[in-house]
Chains A and B, each alone.
Chain A
């Protein structure tokens, strides 16, 4: 299968603390890949290297290679701004910008230089539809995004990311603060979206990973313990630690 992201012996240090201890993993195109593991396992750090958001942390040292479409984004001459147009992020806590629903979604496209009203309208509608939010929002595009419920805000954040037309979407525990119905809506949206995007879903919720991801990776203390198809990892894990984590014995 087609590899979208290839990670080779990636190490990340915060000061002297080794947070990622030589990770190698391939992420496949148009699949949902679930990253799971207890807090401190390094899964969030790993995805923050993919879009170089890690550059905003202080005292970080990175070793190893991360190829996206065969381009090394760690050592190569890669511009973080261009990279983040290609790789969108949805964070654990929904963080709407203090402005209207419309302006939130148009934020990224406007940065790209799109100012044509028609084009923006279409982008906003498309993105909201893909995030399963259009029906709720179509008459309320001009209200403040801060007035939406938590679940709506998180789908707005997803729509805002989609409006950038990225190729990869990183979701860092996107449902951690949401109720089951909002979570289901996000999961439905993701299952649809994988046709056009490569999706990485970071989650503590093993059931969620089992439900919607095609591939699953289990991280523990900065190491990749197990990686394979979700079916294989959840029904027949090769490592004891994975089995313990999935069955809820720790984590």
Chain B
């Protein structure tokens, strides 16, 4: 006998909504703990002064700057490389064994644990190319690490732009490149930005790959060859070495807030583009 369909629907609705609440609930609890434990220690001084006594006292200014430089420069390098690769794979080649191999490689790279990228960066950039623990070595390593994500998401976004739009653009005497720049990319921007945002999140929160390549100096990095410490690394060391849980929570709160604000800015840019090209 068939179970009363209305009961099934009701039961499934309750089941699925409780799953959703459970997921969001965990997120809220984590953020709440970070806020409650970290908020009391956040002050102007915490944000804008240097750490003292290994971070037991003072602020996190150098690691804020270190994080911004590292993430900004990595994204700046990885975005044109990744989007360019995606354009090449989707617009300039036919599906062949060659593109399949590239795509397979990209997918495999996306699944590699970050510590392996860290070790590679350490051996190749830090030791072999004699960069030492430096912002530059960190940037290059993170660029390689986030490239696969940007390539894959950009490729999907570009593929989802209707073929008709390209045909119309060609029929109006556009070249392939003009079509890519004026029609394909604007329509793909939301998808590409999503990939970039995922990558920003990964880069901001990365510790293993960063410690190996950028080091963990507490000084303010002033050049590409300086070592430095990101907020995530700072947080990791504070907590792991038992230096100061208060400062660790305060650092993680700033970390969470900065990811949040980056996301808000990205959505703002996305809406600007969408309203122009719709």
Taking Cβ atoms with an 8 Å cutoff, the residues of A that contact B are: 51, 53, 56, 58, 80-82, 84-85, 88-89, 91, 93, 95, 97-99, 107-108, 111-112, 144, 146, 157, 160-161, 164
13 A-B residue pairs with CB within 8 Å: A91-B164, A91-B168, A95-B164, A97-B165, A97-B183, A98-B186, A98-B277, A99-B276, A99-B277, A111-B173, A111-B178, A112-B173, A160-B172
A228–B45 Cα distance when bound, in Å, is 89
- Interchain CB contact (< 8 A) of B165 among A58, A82, A95, A111: A95
Chain B interface secondary structure, helix, strand, loop or mixed?
Answer: helix
Least CB separation from A163: chain B residue: B172
- Interchain CB contact (< 8 A) of A161 among B167, B169, B172, B183: B172
A98–B168 Cα distance when bound, in Å, is 11
Least CB separation from A110: chain B residue: B182
Taking Cβ atoms with an 8 Å cutoff, the residues of B that contact A are: 94, 164-165, 167-175, 178, 182-183, 186-187, 276-278
- Given A53-B170, A84-B173, A144-B278, answer yes or no on A98-B187 (Cβ-Cβ < 8 Å): yes
B206 to chain A, nearest CB (A): 36
A88–B94 Cα distance when bound, in Å, is 27
B271 to chain A, nearest CB (A): 14
- Interchain CB contact (< 8 A) of A108 among B173, B175, B183: B173
Which residues of chain B are near A82, meaning CB under 8 Å?
173
Least CB separation from B178: chain A residue: A111
A99–B273 Cα distance when bound, in Å, is 10
Q: Count of A-B contacts with CB under 8 A?
A: 60
Say yes or no: A85 contacts B165, CB within 8 Å: no
Which residues of chain A are near B277, meaning CB under 8 Å?
98-99
- Given A95-B164, A111-B178, answer yes or no on A56-B170 (Cβ-Cβ < 8 Å): yes
A55 to chain B, nearest CB (A): 9
B24 to chain A, nearest CB (A): 33
